[in-house]
Amino acid sequence: MDRNLFLAFALSIAVMMGWMALTGPPPSQMPPEEEQHRPLDPIDGVEQSLPPTTTAVERPSPLPVTEPSRFDSPQAPVRLISIDMPLYTVELTSRGAGIASWVLKEFRETSDPDSPLIKLTTGQAPFDTALVTPFNELGLGDFSQYAFQVLSEEPAGVTFEASEADITIRKTYSFDADSYSFRVLIEVENESTASIAPRFRIDLPAHVREGSDFRELALAALEDGSTVTEQLQSLGRPGFLSSFTGDRPEPYQDFLGEIDWAGIQTTYFLSVILPDTPAQAGVRMAATEAGVSGKVQVFFAETAIPPGQSAARELRGYMGPKEMARLEALGSETVRAIDLGWSWVQPLTRFFSVFLKMLYSAIPNYGVAIIILTILVRLVTTPLTIKQMRSMERMRALSPKLKEIQAKHADDRQKQSEQTMALYKSEGVNPLGGCLPMLLQFPVFIGLFYALRSTIQLRQSPFVGWINDLSVPEELFEIPGLGLPFRVLPLVMGATMVLQQKITPVQVDPAQAKMMMTVMPIMMTFVFYQFPSGLVLYWMVSNVLAISHQLIIGRDLRAKAAS
């Protein structure tokens, strides 16, 4: 989760728990499953010679910081090769033998059917060609700028070749027709008279882009079973404390543990490289222009290639949506790129995600599905709600006696506490009875939060009227003169919180009650004003149901108490 969202959510939770504590609920990585890395199938027609394996796996050392050199020798003309697959269109360039453009056919930038298709790689500066292999360590020049020759073209693959000083580099791409995955085989042949030691580095670049799909653009990797992320906009830029300490961050960070995957991610899309030998792979996340552009560099331990021999590495890749089924099929725990929350809440997140899709299959409107899901959750947790309200009503009945104790022992806090606990014991009242049921519901609220936030099906999914995308904040109109969006759902949600607080029995003085009826709803409205409309819809409906519970169940409890 990015820092701003975490702070906002932590603030809302703190306020909600404080409110519940005064009167009487509501973010994540799955624990790594034991998984064997699937062996790679060879690309048809390509003979491979992988680096020899040894008993002790050699870990990669950090990449040196070197200035790329240029080639003086003549090169082939630059060519662009387009490959059209059912789910995407990829354009390869012979300059660097990389991917210039990757366009998703089933996803557009906005809900407008005429808006441009999503491009995960554009090939435009500073968003340079993806999957280039510089091979600077060979001392021949920067092969990311080299114009490779095209050896072969197939409907689902292309082979490029570059030769300099009796060293040949060959790159073969193979694309899957029924998924967003691909493979790239990188071969190095040494026909020179000296040994060489390539590191098979491959780059994935990124830059800050317009649109809600790229507002959380980050560089990410799975290192030693833990997900590490760096927000692109903050990578290489001084933080808040830097203005006081004078320290400036390094323009790059190295991760030298076992790397299962590394790449670029947003809330709903992922572009990753999967090393063939994670134990020999390392990652550098570098800022090419701090806060504007950067790149993920996957590299390996040096592979010694004596004269007359060759070595190769085959890497897998994925550029597509964060769909759970596709990432689970891809393997290497790429599914952990989906933000499902902390490990203890992930089973609930998965359950709610699947259940939302089931509801949508019956009622093809995710807004309605969210409302039904919220109602069902409320029904399931009704016993806890009744227990909480019963405890609150009993506490309210004891209020006069508690005030007597407070007045009688105003100068003796210890005596006051002893008398209060004695009263609770004699009346059989648990002072935490109003809080514990809500604490038990806490995982449910968090699971729903992550399910609504991580489900890609909510992206550009309309609800009613002006709410045409449940994955982003809704906007009815822009306030003239202020340039601020007017949003209905957060304001209605804030109003429901005021009403809910107003009808809830509170055991605090009037000044505190007034604060809870004004400060908390205002703060929560402010926090939720930037949340996706699907999340705000859930919270608003949950408040409305809580008010109904309070009015109906509370009335019955008071009637029974009076009889």
Query: Which of the two residues, 400 and 456, has the higher pLDDT score?
Result: 456
Q: Which residues pair with 92 in a beta bridge?
A: 81, 99
Mean pLDDT of 238-256: 73
For residue 264, give both structure tokens: 């670029």
Q: Long-range CB contacts (< 8 A, 24+ apart) of 66-74?
A: 66/136, 68/134, 68/136, 68/141, 68/142, 68/144, 68/145, 69/136, 69/141, 69/142, 70/141, 70/142, 70/145, 71/140, 71/141, 71/142, 71/145, 71/146, 71/164, 73/164
pLDDT at 130 over 90: yes
Nearest 5°: the CA angle 117, 474, 541 is 125
Share of the chain above pLDDT 70, in %: 79
CB within 8 Å of 380: residues ≥ 6 apart: none
Q: What is the pLDDT of residue 368?
A: 95
d(CA 314, CA 181): 13
Query: Which of the two residues, 194 and 126, has the higher pLDDT score?
Result: 194
Q: What is the pLDDT of residue 147?
A: 93
Query: In three state form, how does the secondary structure of 226-294 look?
Result: EEEEEECCCCCCCCCCHHHHCCCCCCEEEECCCEEEEEEECCCEEEEEECCCHHHEEEEEEEEECCCEE
Secondary structure class of 222 (helix, strand, coil): strand
Is it true that the peptide bond before 113 is cis, omega within 30 degrees of 0?
A: no
Q: What are phi and psi of 391, to 5 degrees?
A: -65, -40
Q: For 111, which DSSP code?
A: S
DSSP secondary structure string, 36-65? PPPPPPPPTT----PPPP-SSPPPPPPPP-
Q: What is the pLDDT of residue 552?
A: 80
Q: What is the pLDDT of residue 121?
A: 85
pLDDT at 107 over 60: yes
Q: What is the pLDDT of residue 423?
A: 80
pLDDT band at 442 (very low <50, low <70, confident <90, very high): confident
Q: Which of 89-98, 288-297, 518-527 has the highest mean pLDDT?
A: 89-98
Q: What is the pLDDT of residue 27?
A: 35
For residue 279, give both structure tokens: 């134990």
Q: What is the pLDDT of residue 434?
A: 58
Mean pLDDT of 22-48: 38
For residue 365, give both structure tokens: 């409107």
d(CA 173, CA 95): 14
Do 453 and 321 form a contact (C-beta atoms < 8 A)?
Answer: no
Do 29 and 336 form a contact (C-beta atoms < 8 A)?
Answer: yes
Q: What is the pLDDT of residue 187?
A: 97
Residue 150 is which amino acid? Answer: V
pLDDT at 12 over 60: no
Q: What is the pLDDT of residue 47?
A: 40
d(CA 41, CA 68): 34
Q: What are phi and psi of 114, to 5 degrees?
A: -100, 0
pLDDT band at 3 (very low <50, low <70, confident <90, very high): very low
Q: What is the pLDDT of residue 537?
A: 93
Q: What is the pLDDT of residue 256?
A: 93
pLDDT band at 273 (very low <50, low <70, confident <90, very high): very high
Q: Which of 279, 252, 266, 167 is nearest to 207 (CA)?
A: 266
Mean pLDDT of 433-442: 63
Report the chain's mean pLDDT, rounded to a whole number: 82
d(CA 273, CA 205): 12
d(CA 216, CA 56): 39
Mean pLDDT of 89-107: 95
Nearest 5°: the CA angle 448, 353, 17 is 10
pLDDT at 43 over 90: no
pLDDT band at 79 (very low <50, low <70, confident <90, very high): very high
Mean pLDDT of 499-516: 66
Do 78 and 93 form a contact (C-beta atoms < 8 A)?
Answer: yes
pLDDT at 21 over 70: no
Q: What is the pLDDT of residue 298?
A: 97
Q: What is the pLDDT of residue 562?
A: 62
Mean pLDDT of 237-255: 72
Q: Which of 55-64, 82-91, 371-380 has the highest mean pLDDT?
A: 82-91
Mean pLDDT of 337-366: 90
Q: What is the pTM of this model?
A: 0.79
Q: Which of 310-324, 418-432, 440-454 has the highest mean pLDDT?
A: 310-324
Q: Is 498 exposed, middle or buried (0-12, 13-18, 19+ CB in 10 A)?
A: middle
Q: What is the pLDDT of residue 245?
A: 62
Sign, CA torsion 9/11/13/16: negative
For residue 69, give both structure tokens: 């050199």
Per-residue model confidence as pLDDT tens digits over 310-326: 999 999 999 999 999 99
For residue 357, give both structure tokens: 């899709």
The length of the chain in residues reads 563
Residue 3: Cβ within 10 Å count: 9
pLDDT at 123 over 70: no
d(CA 184, CA 98): 10
